[in-house]
Copies of this chain bind each other. A is one copy, B any other.
Amino acid sequence: MIELSRAILDKNARLAERARGLFLGREVAVMNLVSSPGSGKTTLLQRTITGLGERMRCAVIVGDCATDNDARCLRGTGAPAVQVTTGTVCHLDAHMVLHAVEDLNLAETDLLFIENVGNLVCPAAFDLGEDRRVVLTSVTEGEDKPKKYPAIFHRADAVVLTKTDLIEAVEFDREAALGHIREVAPAARVFEVSAKTGAGMEGWGAYLEECVAGKSGVPA
């Protein structure tokens, strides 16, 4: 089992490098969004893309075991969205991403969001050639998720605490949660947002603009 996993991960690592090169060549900043099911990835993306729409060209690849609900929702923003239906597969891999981008026009894209399958475990192991790995966790899930799923938080470039409008309703201990995030992902940028009320969306949007600025006009 271990040897086979290594073979799968080695193959993924090669394809992820191909994707990374392609994204570099097309000057597209790529964010890999991972979280539990129902943490609010799609809602955050809807609001984010609507907010950034004037300033940059966004596109989305969405992974789900079944349904194309999320891609249909996201197309409502005007951005192209490609649904990848994974069946019983619990994560997106670089091969799926390379196929999905065939249905996008990367030359006319500044920022590509990859909305991974809802799963806080398995996507941790699969590089997709992204620039930033972003882990979302909602206040309704409790404070302890970074400690219970350390592999995925440890490799995060950014952590987005979502649904902050519900902090009081769920008696969420914000300080404890931020402490856990800092402990497991000390270098990650942390954002606290409510896609419902719009709170915290400016900081998150500025971060994305930085990522896009860093990717355009690069040498090579």
Contacts and interface: CB of A to CB of B under 8 A. Distances in A.
Given A66-B148, A67-B148, A144-B67, A122 B38 contact: no
A77 interface: no
Interface string A150-172: 11000000000001001001100
A14 interface: no
A38 B69 contact: no
A179 B116 CA distance: 26
A171 B163 CA distance: 13
A88 B140 CA distance: 24
Nearest to A144: B69
Contacts of A64: 148
B120 A118 contact: yes
Interface string A124-157: 1100000000000110111011011111000000
Q: How large is the interface on A (under 10, 10 to 19, 20 to 34, 35 or more residues)?
A: 35 or more
**Chain A interface, DSSP helix/strand/loop, else mixed:** loop
A119 B120 contact: yes
A145 B145 CA distance: 20
Given A66-B147, A147-B69, A38 B141 contact: yes
B88 A125 contact: yes
Contact of A90 (B1, B121, B144): B121
A98 interface: no
B90 A90 contact: yes
Interface in A42-76: 64-67, 69
A163 B172 CA distance: 14
Given A119-B121, A140-B166, A145 B37 contact: yes
A37 B119 CA distance: 8
15 contacts: A36-B37, A38-B137, A38-B138, A65-B121, A65-B151, A67-B148, A69-B148, A90-B90, A90-B121, A118-B120, A138-B140, A140-B140, A140-B166, A140-B170, A166-B169
